[in-house]
Amino acid sequence: MDDHADLSFQAGLRGTLQDCNWESQPKASSTLPVPLSEMKSSVLTVKRPFSTSRSSVDPKEIKKFQLLAQKWWDEEGEYSALHSMNDIRVPFIRDTLLNMSSNYHLGSPLSGVKILDVGCGGGLLSEPLGRLGASVTGIDPLEDNIRTADQHKSFDPVLSQRIQYKSSSLEEIVEESMETFDVIVACEVVEHVADLEMFIKCCSQVLKPEGSLFITTINKTQLSYVLGIVVAEKILGIVPEGTHEWEKFVPPEDLGRLLESNGFSVKTVNGMLYNPLWGSWSWTESTSINYAMHAVKSGAQGHSSPTDAPSETESEEHSATAGTAV
């Protein structure tokens, strides 16, 4: 790139950042949504009923993220955007579940709900769900991540009772956990697994009928490559270079078809945007970069329609209060 082109590119990037209006609903073309992921994967051995050479594990992903296992709770470090993502993903999970249930426990709205956090990393999502009253099992194939998560929850006696962590892949717990969980959360995970179909099949196995599956991940578009890899990793350095592989990104249409072919009904798909200047996330209609999906396992009767999930306006309101809510 010659000097003139380089200056033009930098000026364009600065203009894009300066033109952001974060008081109103953000648009995909006016911000830099940056996908980040929670160091997750699936693992080493496959047990029956999936005793096959296929596995959702990608050993390269484990090696890639092992060096960062001690940095999960550094809110200014490599995982800062995942900390701020809780401001929208936690209320999204909470409110969707409450809209589907007539039970409500003041102060502990998710009391009695059994949640599996797949690829829990250091527990960034497990802990706020535990504070909402849920019984959470967090699994991750990387033992260093589990040690970090266990150590952090030990500072809170309430969380120590509500959360348990296991160094395990999803495949490894299938036999012992058949139709055990009311909810599965897989946030920033599916773009790192080696066998997505196996991963979804295992989710179905351990989820109760009518149970909910929440996924956040990255779309596979030209925009996600430019902003999620070139800008986020190579130019701004918001995440370590090499964190993502564009080939593993999953379009929502493909993920939806895969879920439906494995007994799920997709209820909601919401776009997500990250503002690197403010370090905050917001909901958007566009799913061209990041998106959140809610699906329900077959057997559900009389559940709410997709419109019962928080609207974008409601979600933004929840985002502003999520710090006190959880």
Annotated binding site: 89, 119, 140, 187-188, 191-192
- Cα dihedral 117, 120, 123, 125, rounded to 10, equals -50
Q: Residue positions in the annotated binding site for S-adenosyl-L-methionine?
A: 89, 119, 140, 187
The secondary structure of 4-28, three-state, reads HHHHHHHHHHHHHHHCCCCCCCCCH
Q: Residue positions in the annotated binding site for Mg(2+)?
A: 188, 191-192
Site of tokens 């030990």: 154
Burial of 142 (0-12, 13-18, 19+ CB in 10 A): buried
Q: Minimal CA–CA distance to 71: which of 269, 239, 245?
A: 239
Cβ neighbors of 95 (< 8 A, separation 6 or more) are 309, 310, 314, 318
CA distance linking residue 238 with residue 81, whole number of Å: 9
CA distance linking residue 174 with residue 129, whole number of Å: 22
CA distance linking residue 34 with residue 295, whole number of Å: 24
Measuring CA to CA, how many Å separate 288 from each of 35, 97, 295? 11, 26, 19
Q: Between helices 312-325 and 80-99, what is the axis angle to 10°?
A: 110
CA distance linking residue 71 with residue 22, whole number of Å: 29
CA distance linking residue 326 with residue 314, whole number of Å: 16
